[in-house]
Amino acid sequence: MAAVALFRANVTLMVDSTLAGRAFPPTSAYAVTEANIAAFAQAVGTQWTPGDPAPATFPIVVAFAAMQDLMVDPTVGIKLHNVIHGQQKFVHARSVQAGDHLTAQLTVTGLRQIGGADIIATTSAITDANGELVCTAEATLIHSGGTQ
Amino acid sequence: MIPAKTYRVTREDLVAYANASGDPNPIHQDEEVARSVGLPNVIAHGMFTMALAARFVDEYVGQPGQIQELSAKFTKPVVVPIEGTDVTIEGEDVDGKIRLTVTCQGERVLGNPVAILR
């Protein structure tokens, strides 16, 4: 049974079948400025004044950089234009503030296939300059085979 | 129930969001590119819509930074034609756990959107 399962995994997955569990290097530190937060808040119409914490989805800026690193890694096998964002969750240990220097470290927590698409579950630990956890950002990416 | 609010979403918002969030994918800005990959028109970033959901919760709470957890599935795209579109959000607060309903053109665009307050 195991051999059959392995064989099936090899022929159906479009990405590296050993991807689950893989930890990627942390992103370079992102300096959060008042201007960054203001621009983000303004784009979505959120009222924000200097000194306020950043909006709850602001850490996507850092998490997205980590996801980009995963998606462009040639050993992973993702075709960028075949990826859609399926699901997102933020768990905040604390709010993001201007002056933070944030780094995201992404781990692939799951890999399965449904209906011809690779479902890639990721968790990015977003930490500050002291290495303290600020936020955990979980993203599910759906990678379809596509026709291109 | 938390009363519904409707937010106008325009192409200009999506361009501003792309710049602010670092996601330059042209399907969120360029009609021709969006159609070339089989979409009906430009679509909002899923994260843009999720940010609107966070805005709704912030406005309900009356102060920023009170969201401890926020989660959603991106089940349907928010299609943004040249004249813009409306996204309507309402919610129910059960002891600080806010279940949201986020719709565009009468259809739910986020699956199981939930915010948990501190």
Position B9 scores a pLDDT of 98
Residue ranges in chain A whose pLDDT is less than 70:
1-13, 146-148
CA distance A142 to A114: 9
CA distance B102 to A132: 33
In percent, the amount of chain A with pLDDT more than 90 equals: 76
- CB-based contact, B33 to chain A, within 8 Å: no
Of chain A residues 86-115, which have a CB less than 8 A from chain B?
A: 86-92, 95
Short-list B74, B56, B64, B68, CA closest to B97: B68
Position A3 scores a pLDDT of 40
pLDDT in tens, A23-52: 999 999 999 999 999 999 999 999 999 999
- Tokens coding A50: 């200097």
Position B28 scores a pLDDT of 94
CA distance B85 to B76: 14
Position A9 scores a pLDDT of 45
Residues of A in contact with B39 (CB under 8 A): none
CA distance A66 to A70: 7
The CB density around residue B16, as the number of other CB atoms within 10 Å, is 18
- CB-based contact, A46 to chain B, within 8 Å: yes
Position A12 scores a pLDDT of 61
pLDDT in tens, B16-45: 999 999 988 899 999 999 999 899 999 999
* Bridge partner residues of B73 (DSSP): A87, B111
Of chain B residues 80-109, which have a CB less than 8 A from chain A?
A: none
Do B86 and B70 meet the contact criterion of CB atoms below 8 Å apart? Answer: no
- Tokens coding A18: 């050993």
CB within 8 Å of A133: residues ≥ 6 apart: A93, A125, A126, A127
- CB-based contact, A59 to chain B, within 8 Å: no
Query: Residues of A66-98 as b/e, b for ≥16 C-beta within 10 angstroms?
Result: bbebbbeeeebebeeebbebbbbbbebeebbbb
Alpha helices in chain B (DSSP H): 11-21, 31-36, 46-61
Pairwise CB contact (< 8 Å): B52 & A86? no
Interface test with B, best of A32, A36, A44, A92 (most B CBs within 10 A): A44
- Tokens coding B23: 């996601």
**What is the largest distance, in Å, between two alpha-carbon atoms of chain A?**
60
pLDDT in tens, B58-116: 999 999 999 999 999 999 999 999 999 999 999 999 999 999 999 999 999 999 999 99
CA distance B58 to B53: 9
